[in-house]
Amino acid sequence: MNLNETRGRGQRLTHVWILGLIGFTCLLCLPGDWLPEWIAGNGHGHGMGWGKLGHVFGYAALSGLACALPIATEAWLAALGLLSAHGFLTEFIQTFIPKRTGQLSDVGLDHIGIVLGLSLAWLNGRLRGWRERRVSAEQPDDDTAREDEDADLLRHGQPEEVGRRVVP
């Protein structure tokens, strides 16, 4: 992959991350009666509903994607800090939105999502490194392969094809 392709991929990932953050912010800040019942929940049912899982998976996706952005470490940490502040801010904003309630438990779910996304990105990096080391160990070195071919030619009495002077 050349430099222009890498730069283009990085710009696309950055745009996807920004659009994802904007879209997720809109979902979190919509009035409760604008959302489908299965997302809004409105306190019905027991356990964790789709809306609560949306907090975890949304922040996991955004933090995992932030790890893939081709940015410096400081900017990467700033993006994760922005996600953390975003979790607090959107819950605060929800206290002013009709039929929405800001909850600290949702901020906790947001941060569980951030940690999940970071963990998955770290695991992906470890697996990719392991896979690359494994493939490079399985592929023979070009010089080694050529030396093996030369040795085979010598063993079979064909020294003139080796390309160097050999005494039979």
Gap between the Cα atoms of 57 and 79, Å rounded: 17
Average pLDDT, the chain: 81
Q: What confidence tens digit (pLDDT) does each residue in 92-133 have?
A: 999 999 888 889 999 999 999 999 999 999 999 888 888 888
Neighbour tally for 155: CB within 10 Å:
8
- Tell me the pLDDT band of 5, cut-offs 50, 70 and 90: confident
Q: Using CB atoms within 10 Å of the CB of residue 58, give its burial: 0 to 12 exposed, 13 to 18 middle, 19+ buried.
A: buried
- The dihedral over CA atoms of 9, 10, 16, 22, expressed in degrees to the nearest 10, equals -160
pTM for the whole structure: 0.71
* Domain extent listing, the chain: 3-129
